[in-house]
Amino acid sequence: MRVSLNWVKKYVDLPKNITNKELAYDLTMRTVEVESVTNTSEKFHDIVVGQILEVRDHPNADTLKVCMVDIGESSPVQIVCGGSNLYVGEKVVISKPGSEVYWHGEGELVKIKETKMRGESSYGMICGATEVYLDGYFPPKDEREIVDLTNIPCKVGDNIADVIDMNDTVLEIDNKSLTNRPDLWGHYGIARELSAIYKVPLKEIEINLPDKNIKKYDIEIKDTAKCPRYTAVEIDNVYVKDSPIWMQTAIINGGMRPINAIVDITNYVMMAVGQPLHAFDKTQVAGEKIIVRNAKKNEELLLLDGNSITLTEDDLVICDIKEPMALAGIKGGRKDSILPDTKSVVLEVANFTANAIRKTVKRFDEKTDASIRYEKNIDTERVDLGLSLALKLFKEIYPESKVVAFVDNHSNPTKNEEIEVSKKFLDTRLGKELTVNEITDILTRLGYKVEYSNDIFKVVVPTWRSTGDVQ
């Protein structure tokens, strides 16, 4: 799992004197194994914003242009470029001499040098997205298209890492060390651990759910053992557009790729708090009703790629009144995809049991970012966290959006485990003696409720630790 420290810092103010290597060491020694630490801005050295001042034909090449470009230095520079969309006033990505790029997006990295192209001097390179790690933000329409930053907030001379909020450090965490920690499959969980390690406050995510008195969305759960909680929210006045740059960067640094604002919100929330979500186009849900049930024998689910999979009676599916739309907790089908003309969505924030998900994943050999989290046995109460954050983001990105229907079918809440343990036992297991206050402080920061008397700690375990390693 990839963890962005910029993202973690949204939830906890880390000590300013802690280096990234020290943080990685502390996290490894106390919680999970950090395999690598990467500075995401390093690859953007000497890659800056430029603005085209002049474009003229190359005298010796039909497909090349000679451009004068302001790159924020004392005088403009001349750059030869074969881009298909060059124009005066355009803000572009400039790789200065000394930077490293993928030539035409392929092969090994190439160090940029001042050179001559067909007799014309060229200082650096005007870049396409695939050449400078930006194809996730600016998917090119053709191989000659250069990145157009004209409508992106930036100034001439700005480093591209600053423009796309890529001044970050990413920790690569060994997934095996997370096996029994469903609470850590999100940045908020990692932040909670660091708040305890460094004794700094955790910033709470505010829980704000829709008014239960609004129109009730029609949900039927036929197998509550496999689906103990299903929340659905109908949201109007949304549409397909790019998500904000900061969200795209967070998603990229988290190990996924941006798609569009609607889908990006669901993926962002999943990586933030560890709760998967799914958005259905409202018009594709026949009968405006969602049914959670076991598949019928040999029932088919049509996938996005046009292929179908044959289901068994053990597979949990999300259906409308006609047919399956998605493989619950794993992947969607063609029918549930967000369309170019989507105007309203039904947002699923649900809980599916680990065993149900694990069996289907194994049968189809189909691991996804959502299924990996469900397989770890997420607590049902995390739905509130995921839904609250999702609704907040929808309102930020779509100010005109409106929640018009809501339902929360919560048949089997996760119970808080209660444990009694002696201080002597803890001292023995830890190999050192901590004071009662130290133990109480650590556990409290991690969300436990603690009482101590007569050498015994009476501990109420938070729901996010009551389904995994603490039972």
In this predicted structure, what is the pLDDT of residue 20?
A: 94
Q: What 3-state DSSP class applies to 450?
A: strand
Six token digits for residue 379: 């607590």
Is it the case that residue 332 has pLDDT exceeding 90?
Answer: no
**pLDDT average, residue stretch 332-342:** 87
CA-nearest of 86, 137, 133, 65 to 105 is 133
Cα(322)–Cα(265) distance, rounded to whole angstroms?
Answer: 28
In this predicted structure, what is the pLDDT of residue 471?
A: 63
Is it the case that residue 122 has pLDDT exceeding 70?
Answer: yes
What would you report as the CA-atom Rg of the chain, rounded to the nearest whole angstrom?
A: 26
pLDDT tens digits along 135-173: 999 999 888 999 999 999 999 999 999 999 999 999 999
- Helices (DSSP H) in 215-328: which residue ranges? 245-253, 261-273
pLDDT interval class at 286 (50, 70, 90): very high
pLDDT tens digits along 410-454: 989 999 999 999 999 999 998 889 999 999 999 999 999 999 999
Is it the case that residue 334 has pLDDT exceeding 90?
Answer: no
Cα(288)–Cα(236) distance, rounded to whole angstroms?
Answer: 14
Cα(96)–Cα(84) distance, rounded to whole angstroms?
Answer: 20
In this predicted structure, what is the pLDDT of residue 14?
A: 95
Q: Identify residue 153 by its one-letter amino acid code.
A: P
pLDDT interval class at 466 (50, 70, 90): very high
Max CA-CA distance within the chain?
91
CA-nearest of 303, 312, 404, 419 to 356 is 312
Cα(94)–Cα(73) distance, rounded to whole angstroms?
Answer: 12
Q: What angle do the packed helices 261-273 and 245-253 form, to 10 degrees?
A: 50
Kindly provide the residue ranges of all beta strands, DSSP E only, lying in 199-313, ordered along the sequence.
218-221, 229-236, 278-281, 289-294, 300-302, 308-310
CA-nearest of 165, 176, 188 to 9 is 188
In this predicted structure, what is the pLDDT of residue 109?
A: 94
pLDDT tens digits along 229-248: 999 999 999 999 999 999 99
Q: What 3-state DSSP class applies to 37?
A: strand
pLDDT interval class at 468 (50, 70, 90): confident
Is it the case that residue 9 has pLDDT exceeding 90?
Answer: yes
Is it the case that residue 399 has pLDDT exceeding 70?
Answer: yes
Q: What is the mean pLDDT of the chain?
A: 94
Q: What 3-state DSSP class applies to 112?
A: coil
Kindly provide the residue ranges of all beta strands, DSSP E only, lying in 217-257, ordered along the sequence.
218-221, 229-236
Q: What angle do the packed helices 20-30 and 187-198 form, to 10 degrees?
A: 90
Domains recognised in the chain with CATH numbers = 2-40+168-198 (3.30.56.10), 43-163 (2.40.50.140), 218-410 (3.50.40.10), 418-465 (3.30.56.10)
Place of tokens 């969300």: 447
Q: What is the DSSP letter of 192?
A: H
Q: What angle do the packed helices 261-273 and 382-397 form, to 10 degrees?
A: 140
Give how far the C-alpha of residue 9 lies from the chain's centroid of Cα atoms, to the nearest Å.
15
pLDDT interval class at 70 (50, 70, 90): very high
CA-nearest of 164, 47, 161 to 111 is 47
Is it the case that residue 469 has pLDDT exceeding 80?
Answer: no
In this predicted structure, what is the pLDDT of residue 395?
A: 97
